[in-house]
Amino acid sequence: MTDTDIRQHPVFARVWSTLGPRAVAHRDRRELLAGAHGTVVEIGVGTGLNFPFYPDTVTSVLAVEPEPYLRSRAQEVAPDAPAPVSVVDGTAEAIPAEDARFDVAVACLVLCSVPSQAAALAELRRVLKPGGELRFYEHVVAEHTAGSTLQRTLDRTGVWPKVGAGCHLARDTGAAIRAAGFTTGTVRRTMSGPLPHIAGIARRG
């Protein structure tokens, strides 16, 4: 399987174009980006659903999306964003930017589907300035046994990751962020539909 094959999910991309707007409430997108400033990188931007919520304190956004159909949709809406947005081809594990370039990094419903959370988070840490912010909104493994067992079972069967373009339900993303060398502040834990989510800001140490 080639790198191009891994990046292309034509069926999922079109389904997500319909379902994506309902996956995260507008208030959660506003909270995710409130107070963001300076230069920003967002990984896995999909169709660009976060673009309208960037505040005018952001001077530029490098929007990284590997899936061709989703990237084309994001490029269509980028000119209407309040902040200057440049949509580029790339992955979370290979962000096309130099070291310590960005003030803020954004991960929204993407760390569930990257092949390696450790590699993606190391790359985000690389491109962030010292003290830079990682803003995240991600679904995570349940805290109760019944829920986490079901999530792990669905992941192990391979059915859910295949249907969801690599999505894994049982990842402990908060722990992965801390293990990657980020310092987390207050992390908000909520339920969105049947899945637990975490949202917060972590800083590059």
Distance CA 130, CA 204 (A): 6
DSSP state of 137: E
Beta strands in 84-127 (DSSP E): 85-88, 102-108
Q: Could you tell me if 21 and 41 are in contact, meaning their C-beta atoms sit under 8 angstroms apart?
A: no
How many alpha carbons fall within 13 Å on the CB side of residue 26?
2
Distance CA 151, CA 133 (A): 29
**pLDDT tens-place values along the chain, 205 residues long:** 334 444 666 777 777 778 777 889 999 999 999 999 999 999 999 999 999 999 999 999 999 999 999 999 999 999 999 999 999 999 999 999 999 999 999 999 999 999 999 999 999 999 999 999 999 999 999 999 899 999 999 999 887 787 777 899 999 999 999 999 999 988 999 998 889 999 999 999 8
Segment (H or E) for 200: strand 195-204
pLDDT of 163: 73
For 15, 65, 121, 123, 199, the CA distances from 90, given in Å and listed in that order, are 21, 6, 15, 12, 24
Tokens of 129: 């300035």
pTM of the predicted model as reported, rounded to 2 decimal places: 0.92
